[in-house]
Structure 1
Amino acid sequence: MDNKKTEFTFSIDTLSIIELIEGIDENENKDLEKTEVQKNEEELEELIHHVLSLDKNNQQQEPELKKMVLEKKEGKNFLTFHMNYPVFVPGDTISLNDGLYTNDPDTNYANFISFEYEGATGTSVLQGKERTWTILLTENQEEQSPDGEVQPGGDQSAPDQEQPEAAPIVETSTSSWFSFFKLGMLHILTGYDHLLFLLALLLRKQTFKQYAAIITSFTIAHSITISLAVLGVITLPSRFVESVIAFSIVYVALENIFRKEIRHRWGLTFLFGLIHGLGFANILKEMNIPKSDLALALVNFNIGIEVVQLALVLLVLPLLTYMFKLKSSGLIIKAVSIIVAALGGFWLIERIFS
């Protein structure tokens, strides 16, 4: 780093690249090899220049691509682009425009942004339809807002900027807390295995106290392991975590079918919830969030998950209450549980042998 350039890195998972560039995966192994990257350097560079732009005062800046590096993060393969842009100074307005997947409204793609300038850091997430992030560099540390929303995920772009004798910039105002709140909401809504597990837990008739204990234990358990995993205290192979999540769905569904009485399900929920928390944490671990922003990201990511989870429970419980009054409720519970077990079993086999 020096006062003549702005360093910028952008990481994208290799599966997304295979989706975006037809035929790049020549050996069709659903991954990118070093030789495939080298052979398609020009097309890869053109893709990034076409869909990703960094503007200064509404004028697009031309980057200098330094290198492309294949790397692994949390069991997923990424291609990282290292680029240099002209130096930015106080008074400049900088906008990052991410055009990846803008024409695909159903995508789970999210882009985590972090920046550092003279020791000051900031974060945000681009996701959904909002793909622009903006900051104003100031000498008096005033804030001005990013239009930003991450993740899913989990791709990264990180402009790092230095200019001697300039005061640190501070991240702008569409607060990053809301970005991570939305990321948590999106993550649970698209986490079909987590939702199926929750449905299986509620499917058998229980008292309100039992339902409350189940939801509380699941919330506490996955909150604990999300935090510990992101902080690096707990690390387990992604394949193992995802396989156990699938197994938890099968186990609870089979309980619904074969057990005559359901008691103390909160304890089972807590144990499996610990593993589900490790699954939730993967997207945050891929982001390499700066330690200074980690607490804010964790809290608001968790709140986003809990808001959606609570809303879904409040929606499902009245429907289940009505179903329990039907004479055919036993058959319905068994039929739904068989479907849930089959889906969980399919995911379990797929995740063990993929």
Structure 2
Amino acid sequence: MSLLAVFLFLSSFFMNPNVSAHALSASFTQIEFNPSETKMTFSLDVLSVIESMGGDTDNNGVLNEKELEALHRRLEEWIDDCVIVEMNQKQQEGNLESLTLGKKGDKDVVTWTFHFPAFTHGQTISLNDGLYTQSTGGTNYVNLITSKHGSEVSQAVLQGKNRTWTILLTEQQVQQQADPTGNGGQSTPTSPSSTAPKAPGASLEESPSPSQPASQSTDTNSGRFSFFFLGMHHILTGYDHLLFLFALLLRKQTFKQYAAIISAFTVAHSITLTLAVLGWVSLPSRLVESVIALSICYVAVENIFRKDVRYRWILTFIFGLIHGLGFATVLQEMELPKSNLAFSLISFNVGIEVVQLLLVLLLFPLLKMLHQVHFSRQSVTYGSIAISLLGGFWLIERLFM
């Protein structure tokens, strides 16, 4: 029975058509409230655009200017239909200024730039993201939103079924649009309540929006969990991180050894996650993702051929430093403001650790049962072979495709 559980776990990776290092479709929305107009840019990774709309005529996995031009009308209509801006529950028509190719870190993106009329205080502005909501197979999609209004910056993460972001403009915020310092040219520190990341549906003011009864006002405290849930989502869709962790735990070890492995991985990836988000460490994403795949292969091969794995925590720490750079990618692309940086980073990391701990607690009794049967060694060997094959596939894909 334990052997069956192991192979079912592994087969889920092989049979999932969306398996990749980070099977994630990511969009980046930036909204700037100005006195004369409201500007919105919406960026989506090129791979997601190709998967949804086609247009990659030379089948090289990227779009060039000619291919983008051929898709222009369809792309405009697609986002017009799926990404809706409302003012007091009335849909607003934006003017598309440009549709361009660009970069978010190492990621190729398509960027739509829209202009809307200026909004004023007392108005409730909403963004409804309908991308992939009709997908029957589900998708790992997040929309990372940054809103700028005067000196204030707020952020939100839309994912899963939470696809609506709402902000209630106050009179003070509108005044700050004309005077970005909000204090007659004197710098004013941004309050924690206004700079904390906002959850989908959270407003910048603890009062119900005009479209909501008072009893249904949004709890602004829920915004504090946006990056916590993003961290959970990121590791749950990072199949390579999960498989690396599983490979480390697959061999029979003492509880002390298991604890040392988990601690080493946690400390290592927390270090490089922090350094990368702060901009102190930077490596090409292709290199990082390739080394992550290599780490899976190495541990799997070690499971097969090495008899003594007592000091595996050292290996875990070394590879964990690289995995931390992989975790950092999504936050680097979001360009977190300094006022939110520490809180967002800690929340994101805690989300990762919670999922990691829950998975270990789930796997530990299964592995204990596995190691009590007479064919446990064969199970570890066959499981490690399967892991090494998948890791090798990812390694080749990331190096040469």
TM-score (normalizing by structure 1): 0.90
Structure 2 residue corresponding to 1:164, chosen from 161, 175, 178: 178
* Matching of residues 139-150 of structure 1 within 5 Å: 139=171
Structure 2 residue corresponding to 1:338, chosen from 361, 376, 385: 385
* Aligned counterpart, 1:157: none
Deviation per CA, 1:277-302: give whole Å up to 9, x if none. 11111111111222222222211111
* Aligned counterpart, 1:211: 258
Deviation per CA, 1:60-96: give whole Å up to 9, x if none. 1111111122112232210111111111111000110
The answer to whether the Cα contact below 8 Å between 2:241 and 2:323 also exists between their aligned partners in 1 is: yes
* Matching of residues 195-206 of structure 1 within 5 Å: 195-206=242-253
Are residues 32 and 338 of structure 1, via their aligned partners in 2, closer, same or farther at CA, if it must alter by over 3 Å? same
The answer to whether the Cα contact below 8 Å between 1:96 and 1:133 also exists between their aligned partners in 2 is: yes
Structure 2 residue corresponding to 1:238, chosen from 266, 281, 285: 285
Structure 1 residue corresponding to 2:307, chosen from 260, 280, 290: 260
Structure 1 residue corresponding to 2:101, chosen from 70, 95, 103: 70
The answer to whether the Cα contact below 8 Å between 1:57 and 1:92 also exists between their aligned partners in 2 is: yes
Structure 1: distance between partners of 2:130 and 2:51: 15
Structure 2: distance between partners of 1:178 and 1:50: 29
- Displacement of 1:40: 2.4
Structure 1: distance between partners of 2:245 and 2:107: 26
Are residues 339 and 13 of structure 1, via their aligned partners in 2, closer, same or farther at CA, if it must alter by over 3 Å? same
Are residues 202 and 176 of structure 1, via their aligned partners in 2, closer, same or farther at CA, if it must alter by over 3 Å? same
Question: How many pairs are equivalent?
Answer: 335
Mean Cα deviation higher: 97-106 or 258-267 = 97-106
Q: Does 1:14 pair with 2:46?
A: yes
* Aligned counterpart, 2:76: 45
- Displacement of 1:28: 2.0
Structure 1: distance between partners of 2:396 and 2:154: 41
The answer to whether the Cα contact below 8 Å between 2:143 and 2:158 also exists between their aligned partners in 1 is: yes
The answer to whether the Cα contact below 8 Å between 2:151 and 2:176 also exists between their aligned partners in 1 is: no
- Displacement of 1:180: 1.0
* Aligned counterpart, 1:144: none
Structure 1: distance between partners of 2:96 and 2:299: 51
Look up the SS of the partner of 2:98 in the other structure: strand
Look up the SS of the partner of 1:55 in the other structure: strand
* Matching of residues 115-154 of structure 1 within 5 Å: 115-139=147-171
Structure 2 residue corresponding to 1:318, chosen from 365, 385, 389: 365
Deviation per CA, 1:213-248: give whole Å up to 9, x if none. 110110011111111111111111111111100110
Q: Does 1:284 pair with 2:331?
A: yes
Structure 1: distance between partners of 2:45 and 2:65: 14
- Displacement of 1:138: 1.6
Structure 2: distance between partners of 1:325 and 1:27: 54
Look up the SS of the partner of 1:107 in the other structure: coil
* Aligned counterpart, 2:37: 5
In percent, how many aligned pairs have the same letter?
Answer: 55
TM-score (normalizing by structure 2): 0.80
- Displacement of 1:164: 2.7
The answer to whether the Cα contact below 8 Å between 1:7 and 1:161 also exists between their aligned partners in 2 is: no
Look up the SS of the partner of 2:171 in the other structure: coil
* Aligned counterpart, 1:31: 62
Structure 1: distance between partners of 2:125 and 2:272: 36
Structure 2: distance between partners of 1:130 and 1:161: 30
Mean Cα deviation higher: 162-171 or 343-352 = 162-171
Look up the SS of the partner of 2:178 in the other structure: coil
The answer to whether the Cα contact below 8 Å between 1:6 and 1:162 also exists between their aligned partners in 2 is: no
- Displacement of 1:210: 1.0
Aligned amino acid, residue 377 of structure 2: G
Aligned amino acid, residue 70 of structure 2: K
Structure 2: distance between partners of 1:27 and 1:350: 18
- Displacement of 1:39: 2.5
Structure 1 residue corresponding to 2:118, chosen from 65, 87, 103: 87
- Displacement of 1:174: 5.3
* Aligned counterpart, 2:352: 305
Structure 2: distance between partners of 1:6 and 1:161: 15
Are residues 296 and 11 of structure 1, via their aligned partners in 2, closer, same or farther at CA, if it must alter by over 3 Å? same
Q: Does 1:353 pair with 2:367?
A: no
Structure 1 residue corresponding to 2:134, chosen from 98, 103, 119: 103
Look up the SS of the partner of 1:28 in the other structure: coil
Aligned amino acid, residue 163 of structure 2: R
Mean Cα deviation higher: 252-261 or 27-36 = 27-36
Aligned amino acid, residue 67 of structure 2: E
